[in-house]
A and B are shown apart, each in its own frame.
Chain A
Amino acid sequence: MVLTTPGVATLRRDPDQRALRDAETADAALAASGDGRAFERLYRTHVARVHSLVRRMVGPDHADDIAQDVFVRAWNKLATFRGDAAFGTWLHRLAVNVILARRTTLGTERGRYDDSADVLDDVAGRPAAPEWSMDFEEAIGRLPDGARQVFVLHDIEGYRHDEIADMLGIVPGTSKSQLHHARMALRRHLDR
């Protein structure tokens, strides 16, 4: 994965990338003028990425609803897309904002905002028994909310600690600490 835009690991610089970006910019302009089919093309291109981001950030239970919210918000905000960055970059940041706006409610509903070291140790300390066969994605999903969100945003999505701190309302040092705890916990779930 090549990071070409600060904070977002979406674009690879290959010969087709520029043409793809142009086509998406054109589709975004058409969609902004009310062209539903152009917007559907954008949806088809980005739904897997958006849905995966949502699923990793908040878990599978609400992923469909929030992914829908992302695209509805994108449709309503298309006029603000200026084409300065790739559409995927713009959509991705918008998706993060939608997710973070929902996370407090979800966290309250689930009572899962326990980022204590004990919880992290619990994830890390499970025995590597045969029945403990969750894959890496599942292991990410079992991390406490704070550690999981920092891990997803930093190691999967490519955001910097200062960006994450700004988004999550924490200090960069906390972001670094959460990331390290998440990585340490996930070591147990590497393929042997």
Chain B
Amino acid sequence: MKDQWTDRLSQYLDGELAAPERTTLEAHLASCDVCRTTLEELRRVVTNARALDDRPPAADLWPAVAARIGLSPREQARPVVRRFSFTVPQLAAASVVLALLSAAAAWLIVRRGTVPTAPVAVAERAPVLLNASAYPGDARFDAQVADLERALARGRGRLDTATVRVIERNLRIIDRAIRGAQSALAADPANSYLNLHLAQEMRRKLELLRQAATLAGARS
């Protein structure tokens, strides 16, 4: 059953009626069971709508999306079972754990004098990725670091102090790992493991700086 007020109930529910009309409707509601019931049902419809869960598609659409935007097959084929999201401190902490582990491994190798070499004949040893002189004397790396540090310094005020502390602490740890790798390479410049380790730490530093600078720039 409908009366003259039924079609105004949604607007009443959404707070869209002008004060005089709202007052009149409220007076009507006090005496009309049908409108009160209808209003309550409309309210439940809205509540249900807001409580609906989002469901993913039955089939993973990513391979098709990746193909359409021209991503490499390697990126398409990578199985992703679950989406993990990390905060910057979490990512930074993970990088520190990796840095410490690899630095510790380098230290142990050098200390024991059992530095691994590439499993090939000396004459065919894999090319050195970087050597000790590449850091900090690598002009390109230095320039990238300097650029990112300037960008980070400009946006530093936009970052939480806690985030800044974590980033700076982790940069110090990565720098220590880099210096450790350099020291080890000074004794064994051709060691491929140490070269790889140094390269990884340099990349890690660039990545952390890049991410921090992006965050600092994004908080406008």
Bind each other: yes
Query: A interface vs B, CB < 8 Å?
Result: 1, 9, 16, 19-20, 22-23, 25-26, 29-30, 36-37, 39-41, 43-45, 47-49, 51-52, 55, 63-64, 67-68, 71-72, 75-76, 83-84, 136-137, 140, 151, 155-156, 176-177, 179-180, 183-184, 186-187, 190-191
Closest chain B CB from A32 CB (angstroms): 11
Q: List which B28-83 residues lie within 8 A (CB) of chain A.
A: 38, 41-42, 44-46, 48-52, 54-57, 59, 61-62, 64-66, 68-69, 71-72, 75, 78, 80, 83
Which residues of chain A are near B65, meaning CB under 8 Å? 43, 68, 71-72, 75
Which residues of chain B are near A48, meaning CB under 8 Å? 54-56
Q: A26-B214, A83-B218 are in contact. Are A1 and B72 (CB under 8 A)?
A: no
**Given A23, A26, A40, A49, which contacts B62 in the complex, CB threshold below 8 Å?**
A40
Q: List which B143-195 residues lie within 8 A (CB) of chain A.
A: none
Closest chain B CB from A123 CB (angstroms): 13
Is A190 a contact of B56 with CB atoms below 8 Å?
no
Is B80 a contact of A176 with CB atoms below 8 Å?
no
Is B45 a contact of A51 with CB atoms below 8 Å?
no
A25, B158: Cα distance in complex, Å: 14
Which residues of chain A are near B50, meaning CB under 8 Å? 1, 9, 155-156
- Chain B's closest residue to A83 (CB) is B218
**Can you report 9 residue pairs joining A to B where beta carbons are below 8 Å apart?**
A20-B85, A23-B87, A51-B56, A51-B61, A68-B68, A156-B49, A179-B10, A183-B45, A186-B48
Which residues of chain A are near B42, meaning CB under 8 Å? 183-184, 187
Number of interface residues of B (CB under 8 A): 45
Is B69 a contact of A29 with CB atoms below 8 Å?
no
- In the complex, how many residue pairs between chain A and chain B have their CB atoms under 8 Å apart? 130
Is A155 a contact of B220 with CB atoms below 8 Å?
no
Is A22 a contact of B72 with CB atoms below 8 Å?
no
Is A22 a contact of B215 with CB atoms below 8 Å?
yes
Is A26 a contact of B211 with CB atoms below 8 Å?
yes
Closest chain A CB from B198 CB (angstroms): 24
